[in-house]
């Protein structure tokens, strides 16, 4: 299948050619034609599947082919996203894919001054990518009108609900034109999302492009047991001995992020950090420097776990396990994207065994354990079993060995020789009940 056979117009085909996109991904193959035809869509697709182009290309084409010119303070296609990072990334996709089209795109999100955004909206924009909280602020200040909206895209709808945007979304839906196209993308389809979809969508086409954790399938995953206080030391040891080229490292707290960043810099490693306390411009710069390869280690809280598309990111390190098991899937989804393979290693201490067990239950796999000889923990991490059980009385550690999956050897050998089984995620995350929750914008999106 080619992009031309999907009916895309020449300026878009030219751009795709220059980007070297040769064939449509599964989500693009299924979504582009119905979107061009004006149908509503309910799509189960994660980042990494090419979903952004899956909606951006046909939305841009429809903006070119249909509807009046954009009026002042108006918007023709509205894309709602959960975080400012994703807003920037989705905007970038629209700008890239629309480079040969005379259309204006813009992103509006919280955490930065609203005035420049109000100025920018004065002339009107064809595509507005926005986080729900800031969009409502702009609407209430009469900086944006919705009467020209012909297409609404909800990107990562599950994440928006998780971040407490339920009531903001309801408020936005209430003021949008009833006659419009609606495209809903979500990694998971809980009952709440389904009921939202049944209210929002008109005879939608449902597509599911791949299992929910498709991104994780190309990711080798393992864990290294370690005492909590030695995690920093272990990370440095691994970084140096395994000659990691680049790593995205997830740490639980903002304080922890700053501490690890400082520790790495003390050892001459070019490290930067992103978390919710940092100004937006600083976060964007850190991400850009990481993407450009100037920064070798990017340390982040879960604000960076979703949506970020970093080409050829080879390695994700879970310095701390996430407290919400599903964030594990999203974290490791930052690597192994668009067909490449990646690695994800978790440094796990005894305190985290319940978190580990929750992750293993969710992903229906027992993570491969690889002991690092000089870092065998004094507080042994209890063995976990399939089905989320934790073996309560562990034996004392004797000598380095590999457990879980019955494989043996050092980390280096294991990485060369073995592929852990791909996890299959089936559990459904709990989300607030749509419409019944007085949600607040998440702290990262304000
Ligand atoms: P997304 O799932 O939208 O975040 O996209 C994941 C990555 O796949 C991005 O880096 C895109 O540039 C890339 N991509 C999207 N569609 C294609 C395609 N048809 N061929 C090659 N790469 C693609």
The residue ranking higher by pLDDT, 213 or 368, is 368
Cβ atoms of residues 177 and 146 within 8 Å: yes
Angle of CA points 343, 345, 347, to nearest 5°: 170
| Tokens standing for residue 264 | 């790495």
Task: Convert the pLDDT of each residue in 367-402 to its tens digit.
Answer: 999 999 999 999 999 988 766 667 765 455 555 544
Using CA atoms, how far residue 422 sits from 61, 146, 216, in Å, is 37, 44, 7
Ligand 1 centroid to residue 284 C-alpha, Å: 20
**Cβ 334 under 6 angstroms from ligand 1:** no
Note the pLDDT of residue 398.
Answer: 53
Q: Whose CA is nearest to atom 22 of ligand 1?
A: 21
SS3 of 215-278? HHHCEEEEEEECCHHHHHHHHHHHHHHCCCCCEEEECCCHHHHHHHHHHHHHCCCCEEEECCCC
Does 138 score more than 90 pLDDT? yes
Tell the residue nearest (CA) to atom 14 of ligand 1: 50
pTM to 2 decimal places? 0.59
Question: What residue ranges define each of the domains in the chain, with the CATH number in brackets?
Answer: 4-208 (3.40.50.300), 219-375 (3.40.50.300)
**Radius of gyration of the chain, Cα coordinates, nearest whole angstrom:** 23
Task: Name 153's bridge partners.
Answer: 79, 183
> pLDDT band at residue 299, thresholds of 50, 70 and 90?
very high
Helix (H, G, I), strand (E, B) or coil at 23: coil
Q: Does the C-beta of 53 come closer than 6 Å to ligand 1? A: yes
Q: Does pLDDT of 183 surpass 90?
A: yes
What is the distance in A from the centroid of ligand 1 to the CA of 146?
30
pLDDT digits (tens, 9 = 90+) for 305-359: 555 666 557 789 999 999 888 788 878 877 765 556 688 999 999 999 999 998 8
* Contact assessment for residue 132 and residue 165, using Cβ atoms and an 8 Å cutoff: yes
The closest-lying atom of ligand 1 relative to the alpha carbon of residue 338 is 8
Residue nearest atom 1 of ligand 1, based on CA coordinates: 50
For residue 61 and ligand 1, the question of a CB distance below 6 A is answered with no
Q: Whose CA is nearest to atom 13 of ligand 1?
A: 50
Q: What is the mean pLDDT of residues 170-191?
A: 91
The residue written with tokens 């065994």 in the block is: 353
How does residue 18 score in pLDDT terms, banded at 50, 70 and 90?
very high
- Residue 222's Cβ-side half-sphere holds a number of Cα atoms within 13 Å equal to 25
The pLDDT of residue 420: 33
Atom number in ligand 1 closest to CA 21: 20
């Amino acid at each position: 299948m080619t992009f031309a056979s999907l009916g895309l117009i020449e300026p878009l085909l030219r751009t795709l050619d220059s980007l070297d996109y040769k064939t449509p991904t599964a989500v693009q193959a299924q979504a582009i034609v119905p979107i061009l035809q004006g149908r509503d869509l309910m799509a189960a697709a994660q980042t990494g599947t090419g979903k952004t182009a899956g909606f951006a290309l046909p939305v841009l084409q429809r903006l070119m082919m249909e509807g009046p010119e954009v009026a002042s303070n108006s918007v023709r296609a509205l894309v709602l996203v959960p975080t400012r990072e994703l807003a920037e990334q989705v905007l970038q996709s629209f700008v890239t894919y629309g480079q040969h089209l005379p259309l204006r795109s813009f992103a509006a999100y919280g955490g930065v001054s609203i005035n420049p955004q109000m100025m920018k909206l004065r002339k009107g924009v064809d595509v507005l990518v926005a986080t729900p909280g800031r969009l409502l602020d702009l609407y209430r200040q009469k900086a944006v009108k919705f009467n020209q909206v012909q297409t609404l895209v909800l990107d990562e709808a599950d994440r928006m609900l998780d971040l407490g945007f339920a009531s903001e979304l309801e408020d936005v839906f209430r003021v949008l034109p009833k006659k419009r196209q609606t495209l809903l993308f979500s990694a998971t389809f809980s009952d709440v999302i389904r009921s939202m979809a049944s209210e929002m969508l008109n005879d939608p086409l449902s597509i599911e492009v791949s299992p929910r954790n498709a991104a994780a399938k190309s990711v080798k995953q393992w864990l290294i047991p370690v005492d909590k206080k030695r995690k920093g030391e272990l990370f440095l040891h691994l970084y140096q001995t395994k000659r990691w080229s680049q790593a995205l490292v997830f740490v639980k707290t903002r304080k922890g992020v700053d501490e690890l960043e400082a520790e790495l810099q003390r050892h001459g490693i070019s490290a930067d950090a992103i978390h919710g306390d940092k100004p937006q411009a600083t976060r964007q710069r850190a991400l850009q420097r990481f993407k450009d390869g100037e920064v070798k280690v990017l340390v982040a809280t879960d604000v960076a776990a979703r949506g970020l598309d970093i080409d050829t990111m080879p390695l994700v390190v879970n310095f701390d396990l996430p407290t919400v098991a599903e964030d594990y899937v999203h974290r490791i989804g930052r690597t192994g994207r668009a067909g490449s393979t990646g690695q994800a290693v978790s440094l796990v201490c005894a305190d985290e065994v319940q978190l580990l067990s929750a992750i293993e239950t969710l992903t229906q796999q027992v993570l491969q354990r690889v002991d690092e000889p000089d870092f065998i923990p004094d507080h042994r991490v209890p063995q976990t079993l399939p089905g989320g059980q934790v073996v309560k009385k562990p034996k004392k550690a004797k000598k380095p060995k590999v457990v879980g999956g019955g494989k043996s050897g050092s980390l280096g050998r294991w990485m060369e020789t073995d592929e852990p089984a791909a996890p299959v995620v089936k559990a459904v995350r709990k989300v607030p009940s749509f419409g019944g929750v007085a949600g607040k914008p998440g702290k990262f999106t304000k």
